[in-house]
Amino acid sequence: MLTLNAAPPSSFSSFSIAPFDVNYQVCSQLFVPGNLNYWSARASRKLKNFQLKAGFWESIKSGLVKNNTTQVIDPPTTDEEDEEPLPQEFVLVEKSEPDGTIEQIIFSSGGDIDVYDLQALCDKVGWPRRPLPKLAAALKNSYMVASLYSVRKSPGSEGNEQKRLIGMARATSDHAFNATIWDVLVDPGYQGQGLGKSLVEKLIRALLQRDIGNITLFADSQVVEFYRNLGFEPDPEGIKGMFWYPKY
Amino acid sequence: MALTGVAVGMKVHIQIVEGYRSKSMELRLVRRRKSSNTDRNPLKPATGSLFPVYISTDPQHINPHELRDLYTTCNHSCHRFPNLIDSNGQVEPVDLRKLNVALSHSAVLVSVFCKTHNIVGDGDDNLTPSINSSSLSFMGLTDLLQRVTPVTPFNGQLVGFGRAISDYGLTASIYDVMVIPSLRRMGIGKMIVKRIVRMLTDRDIYDIAALCSKNERLFFKACGFASDMLGSTTMMYTRTTSTTQEDDQNISRAGRKLLLVPPLRGVRKSPSSIP
């Protein structure tokens, strides 16, 4: 592993000559895995142009980087990237109905949510519609997505399971200091049972365990009390959130 | 510089996991505000001198050590409730490893550079960056070259920074916008914010939030930000003690706050649902 900092900062720009067998995992050139971001295709095209105009050492390095395109970014020794969102799924509550049907409410994190199901859920709670591709991108690139499913099993031998999305919460983060919780919603038919509370609590727990201390959210007026009970404080020490409003 | 001593044994690199890459070679001119000193030469123009800064959105132009020093110079902390290390309100330095992680996961990174000699002339308008004939004889060729070559991220000092986190679909949040104290009130901060916003709106993200303290509110207002028109309340997790006296309270430190980690509730199997 090449460490760039072996030289004093003044030589940060002039890369010292490195032996060619060194593993160039260090990002002296941009390194964007193709599957991570659909803007990366455009970015890597721009990267190629940039490389053509770059200097002598850059062209040598780019040759090295091309050989490593399939490599994972982080070496296993650092524990930066072992913070995959907990891919857990567990039963939160199990209810048995008089006719023998069992309904389980399952908490899931890290699983994929169907955007159509999510769109339907947002409609149910009365939220305005948002473009589906944007919604899908937002889900894919959120640091954590926690969801609640209701699974109904009828007592028959078939055991046809009905799985429905009934709640979701997601958080974006820089993986180190700040996180913002967006889009917390629970199906109106399942509200009032503490499900929303456990969704948010699990998100907070997961974030704090990764040492992410600034957890923020923007609450509508009717849910301020809900979050206050969960340990959130409105405008702490005068910190306010402002939003961008373009003036035409 | 003593930075080599600090850096030994520590990896210093920014590995870009996600983020926007774009053309970033841009020079801008900023005008120094006139000083409020009364002993100003009446023959000099009232407005300050122009000097170039280099604004970049390329993450590779950022040296994490320099950035950490910038945080210290601007007395800015990554924690919202920072630990103060002395009575002057100086915050503790940023953790370099976490800073690297944060940088590699930020969607937008904007950095501003400027020549060192432009920074030292602050507050004194009589010192213009143009070369005085009287001082020419004392200036060596290297100094002369340094003054006339354009500022780049590699020969300039990091004087401003801003970053944003996004989910690349719907929302984004701006954090850590800072400019060194001697170069404030010149439009550099506004330039940084406008660049961040432009990079986000170019990618169709219009829901851009910025958390700001009381001091920063006017600044963001001038950049085109306002309190939420839909009336939402900004809330942050600040619970430090539990209302119920539970044993084994799990605590996580965030700056000076010791945040309570919510306990893991067990699986319930009952005819009724969770209360």
Give the pLDDT confidence of B89-125 residue by residue, as tens digits: 787 888 889 999 999 999 999 999 888 777 764 444 4
Would an 8 Å CB–CB cutoff place B221 in contact with chain A? Answer: yes
Strand ranges of the sheet holding A232-234, from the earlier edge strand across to the other edge = A232-234, B233-237, A214-219, A178-186, A161-173, A144-153, A102-109, A89-96, B268-269
Mean pLDDT of B79-83: 81
What integer pLDDT is reported at residue A19 of this predicted model? 47
Res. A124: pLDDT tops 90: yes
Question: Is there a contact between B210 and A30 if contact means CB atoms under 8 Å apart?
Answer: no
What integer pLDDT is reported at residue B33 of this predicted model? 64
Res. B46: pLDDT tops 80: no
Res. B174: pLDDT tops 60: yes
Gap between the Cα atoms of A158 and B99, Å rounded: 53
Res. B129: pLDDT tops 90: no
B268: closest CA of chain A, how far (Å)? 5
Chain B hits for A204, Cβ within 8 Å: 237, 261-262
Residue A33 confidence class, pLDDT cut points 50, 70, 90: very low
Q: What is the DSSP letter of B59?
A: G
Among A74, A1, A2, CA closest to A31 = A74
Residue A35 confidence class, pLDDT cut points 50, 70, 90: very low
Class of the CATH-defined domain B20-35+45-127+140-222: alpha beta
Question: Is there a contact between B168 and A141 if contact means CB atoms under 8 Å apart?
Answer: yes
Res. A244: pLDDT tops 70: yes
Mean pLDDT of A118-132: 92
Sequence-distant (6+) residues with CB within 8 A of B15 are A25, A26, A27, A31, A73, A74, B104
What integer pLDDT is reported at residue B147 of this predicted model? 72
What integer pLDDT is reported at residue B201 of this predicted model? 92
Least CB-CB distance to B238: which of A7, A231, A240? A231
By the 10 Å C-beta count (0-12 exposed, 13-18 middle, 19+ buried), A164 is classed as middle
Res. B130: pLDDT tops 90: no
Mean pLDDT of A123-145: 92
Least CB-CB distance to A5: which of B7, B79, B197? B7
Residue A154 confidence class, pLDDT cut points 50, 70, 90: confident
Res. B148: pLDDT tops 60: yes
Q: Do B260 and B251 contact (CB within 8 A), yes or no?
A: yes
Mean pLDDT of B201-227: 90
What CA–CA distances, in Å, run from A119 to A131, A166, A186, B7, B61? 9, 11, 13, 49, 40
Gap between the Cα atoms of A49 and A51, Å rounded: 5
A46-96 confidence digits (pLDDT tens): 544 444 444 555 555 555 555 444 433 333 334 444 444 456 788 878 888
A227 a catalytic residue: yes
What integer pLDDT is reported at residue B109 of this predicted model? 92
User: What are the phi and psi torsion angles at A20 (to 5°)?
Assistant: -70, -15
Among A36-40, A143-147, A160-164, B202-206, name the one with the lowest average pLDDT.
A36-40
Res. A178: pLDDT tops 80: yes
Q: Do A30 and A73 contact (CB within 8 A), yes or no?
A: no
Residue B227 confidence class, pLDDT cut points 50, 70, 90: confident
A3-19 confidence digits (pLDDT tens): 444 444 444 444 444 44
Q: Do A91 and B267 contact (CB within 8 A), yes or no?
A: yes
Among A107-116, A207-216, B86-95, B230-239, name the one with the lowest average pLDDT.
B86-95
| More confident of the two residues B117 and B178 | B178
Q: Which residue of A has its CA nearest to B211?
A: A241
What integer pLDDT is reported at residue B13 of this predicted model? 46
Task: Mark residue A35 as left, alpha or beta (left: phi above 0; alpha: psi -120 to 50; beta: remaining).
Answer: alpha
What average pLDDT does chain A have?
73
Would an 8 Å CB–CB cutoff place B230 in contact with chain A? Answer: yes
Alpha helices in A9-55 (DSSP H): 40-53
Among B142, B110, B236, B7, CA closest to A12 = B7
Question: Is there a contact between A12 and B7 if contact means CB atoms under 8 Å apart?
Answer: no
The ipTM estimated for the assembled molecules is 0.74
Question: Is there a contact between A94 and B269 if contact means CB atoms under 8 Å apart?
Answer: yes
Q: Do B95 and B71 contact (CB within 8 A), yes or no?
A: no
For chain B, positions 160-179, list CB contacts with chain A under 8 A: 163, 165-171, 173, 175
Least CB-CB distance to B228: which of A91, A201, A218? A218
What integer pLDDT is reported at residue B116 of this predicted model? 79
What integer pLDDT is reported at residue A226 of this predicted model? 92
Domain chopping of chain B, boundaries: 20-35+45-127+140-222, 240-267
Residue given tokens 């980690």 in the structure block? B261
Residue given tokens 């940084």 in the structure block? B192
Res. B200: pLDDT tops 90: yes
Mutate to test the interface with B, among A2, A3, A5, A205 (most CBs of B within 10 A): A5
Q: Annotate B9-49 with DSSP letters as a single string.
A: TS------SS-------EEEEEEPPPP--S---TTS-SS--
Sequence-distant (6+) residues with CB within 8 A of B64 are B12, B14, B96, B99, B100, B103
pTM (predicted TM-score): 0.70
Gap between the Cα atoms of A4 and B83, Å rounded: 30
Res. B78: pLDDT tops 80: yes
Q: What is the DSSP letter of B248?
A: S
Helix (H, G, I), strand (E, B) or coil at B271: coil
Mutate to test the interface with B, among A214, A223, A229 (most CBs of B within 10 A): A214
Chain B hits for A132, Cβ within 8 Å: none
